[in-house]
Structure 1
Amino acid sequence: MLFRTLATVMFATGLATAAEPPAPPKRANFTQAVELVTRPKGGLPAVTRKAAFDMVYVPGGEFTIGSPDREPGREANEGPRHKVRVGAFWMGKCEVTWDEFDLFLADLRFPSADELQARNRAADAITRPTASYVDETYGHGREGHPALCMTHHAAMMYCHWLRKQTGRAYRLPTEAEWEYAARGGADSAYAFGADPKTLGRYAWFKDNSADADHPRGTTHKVGTKKANAFGLHDMYGNVAEWTLDQYDPDEYSARAKSPLSVSPVTVPVAQRWSHVARGGSWADKAEQCRSAARRVSDKSWQKWDPNEPQSIWWLTRMDVIGFRVVLAESEQPELVGLRPKVVETSK
């Protein structure tokens, strides 16, 4: 099997393509393309699969994280509010789709976690998820739709794999980066203001995600709703998005004691739980899609998983969880070289 990664960068003068990824253009958007060429045994023709995703430049800045006490739908873990500064970064214009995630699943250079050769490998060794044994999409659609049902560990491992292929330090966004990006410069409940009646223009959520084939609601192709001021689509709804941080219930209170928290992050450890998903999903009400809303994962999210031990890769029937990737302009020291730490025996 031959694997190639192509970086495609759009400049004002036209299109430039290179076998080795050039440095991202300063303060500009770019497109990352990935190509997987599989050469089957027996002299059969090679099979080529491609995917690409757009990265949007988000200038760094300061904002107030969390929600005010009187914001409708507010939960206690959204405060106390406090000032935060984040550095500049690129963020996926849309959520990671199956078109992209499937390349990770299909990269046979790396063993699946249920193969014998994958056992006893270090936690940070690249391993593909175990076979799902069910339709991973749960009937939501594949092409152009957000990938879903993966654990925080699986999302972390995808980023680790993507770094290996592109030479770029892709990772999950920190909670602070995610909320800063979602707000798009606004300090209201949503990037477009406080009125949830406008949410349908920007998000697929409980009130508008149903269609003839999915009367209870479903995901939709990414990028089909309006973008926010930064040019990011689907920050609200479609699928809730994993953030990088290990959840700490005392984190906001501790950071609120300082006048300014710079690039805050609680670095994930070798625990399966808990982490935070942001943005709400196709099945959520408007208040769960607010910029400050936090959905904290716990073991109950795997209550439908019949395996013993339960999978560190898939969240059975949790068809509301996905993710998007970021690339820091200048990586903060504690995140340089960050790799997955969860193993089968992790609690």
Structure 2
Amino acid sequence: MRIAPLSLLISVSLLASSAFAQDTATVTGIESEISKKQAEYDNSTLILEKHLKEESQLQKQLELLRARSAELDKEKNQALDAMNEMYRRLIDDPTLDISNAQTRYQKAVVDHKQNKDDISMQLAAIASHRKDIEQIRVAKHTQLNTLESLKEQLATARVERLRNEFTREGTLEVNHTINCKRTETLAACEQRGQQMGLQKATKRFVDQIFANLTEERLVEPKRNLAGAQVKILSSHVVNSAFSGQGNYNVNLSVTMRGDVNSSRLCSLLNLDNRFCADYGSPLAGNYQPNYTTTYSDSQLTFSDSQDNNQVVSVSRMSEQPVSDYSVKKPVRVEPLPDLKKSKMVELTLRSNVYDDEVFIDGVSFGSTKLTTSLPRGFHDIEIRKRGYKSYKARLDLRKAQTINAKLVKEPEPIVAAVVATEQPTAAPVASIVNKTNTASIVVIPAGTFKMGDINGNGLANERPVVEKTIANSFAMQSKEVSVGEYEQFVANTGYKTEAEKNRGCAYYLNGEPVWEATLNWRNPGFEQDSDFPAVCLTYNDAKAYADWLSGQTGQLFRLPNEVEWEYAARAGKETEYPWGNEIGKNLANCGWCGSEWSNKSAAPTGSFSPNAFGLYDTVGNVWEWTNKKPGQSDVTVRGGAWNFAPSLARVSTRLILAPDFRANYIGFRLVRER
């Protein structure tokens, strides 16, 4: 028996080899870029920590200067009083020496003025330092988003590399000997020997494919789950002979190409199934490999000139020595399938909704309209869509059939309407407010929850995880404040946003935030309608709207604090997103999330299903300002955005910004006080 070396397997197809090298170069290049960006991010973190420490020192020095200012002011007043006393005494005694009092007062005045100058210089130094800190933070956010985006690209490249490695081509030469049965003809023995030789060749071919996977250590333990197949492109008998003892020996040369169920690649690489969404259904958790060898031709023949084109499903079979393939221990080859008596039955599924997801026996098969072939027998069918009650059925599939599923919309969450107070002089404005999204206020119940990086996938500023209690229920806008709503505020007050008054608004260009003077909430750099979230607004712009709305409704509106925001966004879950730990596809508007707006623009508010509390867009769309504590200089935004990676749209992700920062990916929503 002789097996072609691995070098032969690879060198047969130069194009394939080139593709494998290119795949590896792509993955390696991305990994190198990730390493580089990670180093830049870590360096920025160190620089930021240094600046924050320096700012803390400057603040302490400022406090000392301010404390000294009070002392110097007291000394100046005392010196002045002393000098005035000396002047009064000088009237009665012209020979009195008052130089010491004058010197003391002069020194007190100089020291007091110097201290005031020192305070002014210290404030200028702190302001300059704050600008540096703001720039470093924005740079860090950019680096972080770039880093996470590269990880998205890496996952995609790894999947594509593995797929190409499974589908490589090559030629193997295999030698096989069997004992002819006394009851079979020489032709039958020859046919059986060649079938077993072919089976051995496909097994060896798959072994070599697995052995030479770049990520073999990760994939090999899951070999039975790969659904690996081999397509025989051509085969011929190099030589064959019968021996005098009734043995038949055959030497086969077989050219093959590998194949794999591409939808299972993500499971093999421990990746989110969304990276394999374009390949079809993900891997079922209870998948069992097929332990038979099947052939697509109606018969299996070999000759020196005839080529065969067959597909062989390869399972993980134990290696057996040639002597085991004897009359005493024959290897069973399944009979060739009769397509007329196939056990597979066609099933077509349709539903009354768009963008649903079909599960058959717990495995996702994509969206309707769907046509697939299933084994005869019982199957559990489920069709899901967020916001709808799932369609479920147990089907005894015996013949081809079509199911038309009707999904019923779930009841809307409890909503409390905003009631405008009677204000005769402002009646037109109050009536306008009632027509906006502020009329959709959901009640968030009281409760206790874990806040922070529960699953260990977050940033340093999300730790440690702490338990927080919301003692009382509160109301929150179900959607982000829209362009139309902000327009009503501006029309009523004549308010000018900070972007309109100074330097415009930031947007991303090639992964970097760029300031554009012409950008503002009316013109954010992408097309928008009145139902889009209002962006390019600073923290103060959001607060100004909240103050106006409070005055118009007679109820107190404000930005949510971080605890309230995360509690409402989690909606009773401890997962990364309201629906689970994987971002999925087209469930939210964030970078690489599979929506029509991803990496293009914000989406109309409420374009995706709400969470369990009835809140829309707590994942992606635009970052949302939260309320800062008294004396706090920076503000936190939450929720991710349309041009930020999915890993930054988790419910616990925090980005810290200066209050005057504005970008076309930052908006807000409000809470209403009890």
Say yes or no: TM over 0.5: yes
Deviation at 1:208, TM superposition (A): 4.2
Greater share of helix:
2
AA aligned opposite 1:225: F
Residue 130 and residue 162 in structure 1: after superposition, are their counterparts in 2 closer, same or farther (change >3 A)? farther
Deviation at 1:33, TM superposition (A): 7.3
How many residues get paired? 236
Cα distance in structure 2, aligned partners of 1:292 and 1:49: 32
Partner of 2:620: 237
Deviation at 1:278, TM superposition (A): 0.3
Identical-pair percentage = 29
AA aligned opposite 2:415: N
Residues 297-316 of structure 1 mapped to structure 2, 5 A cutoff = 297-298=657-658, 312=660, 315=662
Cα distance in structure 2, aligned partners of 1:319 and 1:209: 20
Partner of 1:32: 418
Residue 192 and residue 37 in structure 1: after superposition, are their counterparts in 2 closer, same or farther (change >3 A)? same
Say if 1:51 and 1:100, in contact at 8 Å, map to a contact too.
no
Select which of 48, 52, 55 maps to 2:436.
Answer: 52
Name stretches of at least 5 consecutive residues in structure 2 with no aligned partner.
1-412, 421-425, 505-517
Residue 36 and residue 105 in structure 1: after superposition, are their counterparts in 2 closer, same or farther (change >3 A)? farther
Cα distance in structure 2, aligned partners of 1:77 and 1:148: 25
Deviation at 1:225, TM superposition (A): 0.2
AA aligned opposite 1:149: C
Residue 134 and residue 50 in structure 1: after superposition, are their counterparts in 2 closer, same or farther (change >3 A)? farther
Asked if 1:160 corresponds to 2:547, the answer is yes
Deviation at 1:210, TM superposition (A): 6.7
Cα distance in structure 2, aligned partners of 1:197 and 1:29: 28
Where 1:177 maps in the other structure, the secondary structure is helix
Deviation at 1:51, TM superposition (A): 4.0
Residue 50 and residue 178 in structure 1: after superposition, are their counterparts in 2 closer, same or farther (change >3 A)? closer
Say if 1:204 and 1:237, in contact at 8 Å, map to a contact too.
yes
Say if 2:591 and 2:598, in contact at 8 Å, map to a contact too.
no
Partner of 2:571: 184
CA deviation map 1:294-336 (0-9, x unaligned): 011048xxxxxxxxxxxx5x72xx111000011133xxxxxxx
Cα distance in structure 2, aligned partners of 1:37 and 1:209: 42
Asked if 1:219 corresponds to 2:602, the answer is yes
Select which of 292, 295, 300 maps to 2:655.
Answer: 295
Deviation at 1:71, TM superposition (A): 2.5
Say if 1:209 and 1:217, in contact at 8 Å, map to a contact too.
no
Cα distance in structure 1, aligned partners of 2:434 and 2:444: 26
Where 2:584 maps in the other structure, the secondary structure is helix
AA aligned opposite 2:657: S
The structure showing larger relative contact order (alpha-carbon pairs under 8 Å, at least 6 residues apart) is: 1
Residue 100 and residue 268 in structure 1: after superposition, are their counterparts in 2 closer, same or farther (change >3 A)? farther
Where 1:107 maps in the other structure, the secondary structure is helix
Select which of 431, 451, 459 maps to 1:75.
Answer: 459
Asked if 1:321 corresponds to 2:636, the answer is no
Residues 232-271 of structure 1 mapped to structure 2, 5 A cutoff = 232-245=615-628, 267-269=629-631
Where 2:627 maps in the other structure, the secondary structure is strand
Cα distance in structure 1, aligned partners of 2:583 and 2:485: 31
Deviation at 1:49, TM superposition (A): 8.8
Where 1:244 maps in the other structure, the secondary structure is coil
Cα distance in structure 1, aligned partners of 2:538 and 2:448: 30
Normalised by the length of structure 2, the TM-score is 0.33
Residue 193 and residue 296 in structure 1: after superposition, are their counterparts in 2 closer, same or farther (change >3 A)? same
Where 1:197 maps in the other structure, the secondary structure is coil
AA aligned opposite 1:319: N
Residue 98 and residue 231 in structure 1: after superposition, are their counterparts in 2 closer, same or farther (change >3 A)? same
Residue 36 and residue 320 in structure 1: after superposition, are their counterparts in 2 closer, same or farther (change >3 A)? farther
Moved over 6 A (4+): 33-36
Cα distance in structure 2, aligned partners of 1:319 and 1:36: 33
Aligned-pair Cα RMSD in Å:
3.0
Residues 81-92 of structure 1 mapped to structure 2, 5 A cutoff = 81-86=465-470, 87-92=472-477
Partner of 2:6: none
Name stretches of at least 5 consecutive residues in structure 1 with no aligned partner.
1-26, 39-47, 115-127, 246-266, 300-311, 330-347
Asked if 1:100 corresponds to 2:460, the answer is no
Larger Rg: 2
AA aligned opposite 2:571: G
